[in-house]
Structure 1
């Protein structure tokens, strides 16, 4: 009875949220479509239409944090989208519109209502504002210079509403004949649940500590701010302040430094994926920077996922076999790790089709290899042949998709797959059976 009553109480808010999203999308859709059609009728190549990045930014900002996150991820794919779109979208990574000072101050004061005020100085104007939080510079009472990440007031309710609405959309998508067998509900629960966990700032503080420990032995130098656990709350993360940062972009870096940066980033991501299993899925330009020595600085640990060991092992085996051009082993790994295999699945046909795909991409340089296209074709093969992957595989794939789009501009001759092999070969992974690599 209580559960039913709670659902009914939330229903008006869901209806209003759904109506707001629909009105905003419909309104901006009409404007964007009208602009594109008008440009075509005038024969103008400069028509804005879909390329009007500023308009996309305004729409996503009005839609709210869940949609701003989509814009942040899209801003990293400058290899797939035009600069007119990605450059404005990049503002969403750390330049979103912050709440008013009064709301921020009320939220911070409330977080420390049961303890003495811990700050000697606090800058209420944010140094950065993202989709979920604002970041402020402060000095603790003992003189420690810190960054204070403050959860946006009211964001929890909006994100839960969006989660509920997208859950309903996934269920509806699963009713389509061609997609009926895809586990959309399970995938949404995993990925959507991980996005909602970004609201737990105490968990983020623990992730910062874990990432710092893991990166100590990494090949490249990576700086991650240390949290101050005694000052962290469910709505506040307090960590060391790192100043003098530069945005993660090629800029004036020479060729050798660009290649060094690219290898350092890939090495860091591969360490997370194949060795530690603690994966940062949100390394957009608002979370990844350079220091003055062009070493990497990784901020924020909200969207960090612990991969189950079977997923980590299978993903690593798939990657090394793809790099070696062994399509048969790649197919076998997909089959063995599938969450479900349809009764009418043509396993031999799947092996042959995936073998062709791997042969096309093996050894491709960063300028030639398109992970987004590869993942789309792999997903289509799985759908056609009735092989349904465990939803946790979405996380390492998302991590690579985000970072691939960011580093392609540094060096187009680097071999993404070959760079992973040194990390893969020094794995120390106990297995009950011989690896596909060992066959």
Structure 2
């Protein structure tokens, strides 16, 4: 458990930007003269300066979420940095016992439905803490309690990000990139995590959608016991973390394929995409892969889902020309001056260079960066909705590379894609 740090409301707003730059400089993941200068100044300060985890925690849940996502990226951060960021998965300092009791008392003014509830949380994240409780018939349940006042903090963060996007979009070469719309789409999806009633609906929907995916389990919500700031769900015993070193190579391969089967079902069949499949939300129970927390899920528009499936199939089959055509069909804007031949050639070269690569040889992050750069240089405005399936795969890719670098996760998608697109 990490140490409790001063709550966000005590951090002056004027210090937020400096703290954010400090976190980026400390992690070594941001660029630019301003951040570099900030990093050099910070390096000369005494060791009493707070570390990255404390900084992200003080900055609030939006930055904690970013740290969680980055902890999966072997191509972005060193193992030492990622190991530190893993503390953010479910070991963020919990709310005080008094705060939890007060929140529960307000949620159930007529009396608690629980016979008893554990004093210490089973897990704690940036938005909520989860406690084990028992119903009067001694049935164990999981009780997710939202942190009081977390909504205004997160909305302030996205207002700052929106302002930054508006400024960035004025820069040469970025004016056609729909950064403001992307921030709006992502902020709406992330803020949805505050709505525990919506999360209960998402849990129930994912359970139905994935019912026929073998060895993939999602806890059942108990909506009759849930409230606006409390989500009650099935307690799944015997959960253990994903630890590659404790499993045989065949067990790791089987787990990766189970997860991929579930993810490809979400992405290409049902369109209800879980964008937060980091190790804090994925567990093992016996032979089952257990997915917890359905707060950060997005329902894709059917047209977006189909276009993404078409692109992924063409990418998986090494068909660069067809992949380029899908990108052009899905674009929000293709300028009349666009050199279509050069764009198609660039996409073809990119797709063919990554065809038949295993997880250890292929990185989705650099691939997406190169694709976006081709679009930017051609003036092609991509649809912001595509950020969500990409985000889901980017987070998942980090876990895959830890478990089975030999899996061809492009090829694993082909049976599902052919069934959907036939």
TM-score (norm 2): 0.90
Q: Distance in 2 between the 1:36 and 1:336 partners?
A: 43
Is 1:221 the counterpart of 2:209? The answer is no
Cα 1:17–1:197 change in 2 (3 A) is: farther
Q: Distance in 2 between the 1:312 and 1:119 partners?
A: 41
1:351-366 alignment, distance < 5 Å:
351-366=344-359
What is the match of residue 433 of structure 1?
none
Structure 2: stretches of 5+ with no match in the other structure: 1-7, 28-35
Is 1:21 the counterpart of 2:16? The answer is yes
Report how far residue 30 of structure 1 moved: 8.0
What is the match of residue 86 of structure 1?
82
Counterpart selection for 1:201 from 196, 199, 203: 196
Counterpart selection for 1:180 from 172, 175, 179: 175
- SS of residue matched to 1:231: coil
Is 1:121 the counterpart of 2:93? The answer is no
Report how far residue 34 of structure 1 moved: 9.8
| Contact 1:17–1:161 under 8 Å retained in 2 | no
| Contact 2:22–2:38 under 8 Å retained in 1 | no
Q: Distance in 2 between the 1:409 and 1:163 partners?
A: 32
What is the match of residue 270 of structure 1?
264
| Superposition misfits of 4+ residues, deviation over 4 angstroms | 26-38
Counterpart selection for 1:423 from 412, 416, 422: 416
- SS of residue matched to 1:118: coil
Deviations 1:367-393 (A, max 9, x none): 000100000001111111111111110
- SS of residue matched to 1:229: coil
What is the match of residue 30 of structure 2?
none
Is 1:103 the counterpart of 2:99? The answer is yes
Structure 1: stretches of 5+ with no match in the other structure: 1-12, 42-48, 430-437
Counterpart selection for 1:298 from 263, 274, 291: 291
Report how far residue 202 of structure 1 moved: 0.2
- SS of residue matched to 1:90: helix
1:221-240 alignment, distance < 5 Å:
221-240=215-234
Report how far residue 79 of structure 1 moved: 4.4
- SS of residue matched to 1:171: helix
Report how far residue 104 of structure 1 moved: 1.4
- SS of residue matched to 1:350: helix
Q: Distance in 1 between the 2:113 and 2:189 partners?
A: 30
What is the match of residue 372 of structure 1?
365
| Contact 1:105–1:124 under 8 Å retained in 2 | no
What is the match of residue 207 of structure 2?
212
Report how far residue 325 of structure 1 moved: 0.8
Report how far residue 55 of structure 1 moved: 2.1
What is the match of residue 5 of structure 1?
none
Q: Distance in 2 between the 1:26 and 1:298 partners?
A: 33
Q: Distance in 2 between the 1:385 and 1:132 partners?
A: 40
- SS of residue matched to 1:68: helix
- SS of residue matched to 2:362: coil
| Contact 1:202–1:233 under 8 Å retained in 2 | yes
Aligned length: 402
1:237-276 alignment, distance < 5 Å:
237-276=231-270
| Contact 1:245–1:290 under 8 Å retained in 2 | yes
Q: CA RMSD in A?
A: 2.4
Report how far residue 124 of structure 1 moved: 2.9
- SS of residue matched to 1:305: strand
Report how far residue 321 of structure 1 moved: 0.6
| Contact 2:176–2:380 under 8 Å retained in 1 | no
Report how far residue 66 of structure 1 moved: 0.6
What is the match of residue 316 of structure 1?
309
Q: Distance in 1 between the 2:157 and 2:351 partners?
A: 37
Q: Distance in 2 between the 1:31 and 1:91 partners?
A: 16
Report how far residue 28 of structure 1 moved: 5.9
- SS of residue matched to 2:360: coil
TM-score (norm 1): 0.87
Report how far residue 292 of structure 1 moved: 2.6
Cα 1:260–1:340 change in 2 (3 A) is: same
Q: Distance in 1 between the 2:22 and 2:131 partners?
A: 35
Deviations 1:21-74 (A, max 9, x none): 124245667888799879x99xxxxxxx9xxxx922121111111100011001
Q: Distance in 2 between the 1:364 and 1:31 partners?
A: 33
Counterpart selection for 2:149 from 120, 130, 154: 154
